[in-house]
A and B are shown apart, each in its own frame.
Chain A
Amino acid sequence: KAGVTQTPRYLIKTRGQQVTLSCSPISGHRSVSWYQQTPGQGLQFLFEYFSETQRNKGNFPGRFSGRQFSNSRSEMNVSTLELGDSALYLCASSLWTSGETQYFGPGTRLLVL
């Protein structure tokens, strides 16, 4: 099976812009989780989608949002970008939503100038 794919891999934006990142899970996986990784804060949970519904949300402002489509592909959106949003954004997929093994994508590295 193909692994988790994320597009784009690299992105440069300026403050105030918005960005949309895409994640395609492993075929058959219904749960997609998004994470932000920065040198200062490490890995932090953003949100999880399962069967097109947001199941959990981490402690991030409303500028961070996401959605999941019927084919389980997911997108996350960050509006009104701030310098502090510069990070590696990772998505991970799993079959269900019960804490089992997650399979991570390669990540999208976002730089906000």
Chain B
Amino acid sequence: KNEVEQSPQNLTAQEGEFITINCSYSVGISALHWLQQHPGGGIVSLFMLSSGKKKHGRLIATINIQEKHSSLHITASHPRDSAVYICAVRPFSNTGNQFYFGTGTSLTVIP
């Protein structure tokens, strides 16, 4: 059983659409990260959340600790948003930077 589940696995959207990617986890966590991976492999950390909501440009991330759920929203999507988005959690039981990862959501934004 994977401790972190993401949905959907694949997502195709038209440019300008509002996009939501979901992440559910089954363990108590101290932090949740959203990562973006472009073709070619490079990974960028988008957000680190322990509660509430964060916004950066067109990206918004929310977390509900009680429901063990987080969402990543992209407003006014653009073809350059096409990437794989990965949710990562740091369980309370883990020390250091040991994370569990979701399998990723592959997003394609069509012009």
Chain A residues near B (Cβ < 8 Å): 31, 33, 37, 42-45, 48, 50, 55-56, 58, 88, 90, 92, 94, 97-104, 106-107, 109
CB contacts between A and B, total, < 8 Å: 70
- Set of chain B residues within 8 Å of A92, measured between Cβ atoms: 43, 97
A92 to B41, CA, bound (A): 13
- Select A56's contact among B41, B43, B44, B94, beta carbons within 8 Å: B94
In whole angstroms, what is the CA distance A43 to B97 when docked?
Answer: 14
The range of chain B's interface size is: 20 to 34
B residues near A109, Cβ cutoff 8 Å: 41
* A-B interface, 7 closest residue pairs, ranked by CB to CB distance from nearest: A104-B43, A99-B90, A43-B101, A55-B96, A56-B98, A97-B96, A107-B41
User: Which one of A33, A37, A97, A101 contacts B33 once the chains associate, using CB atoms below 8 Å?
Assistant: A101
Docked CA distance A48–B45 (Å): 18
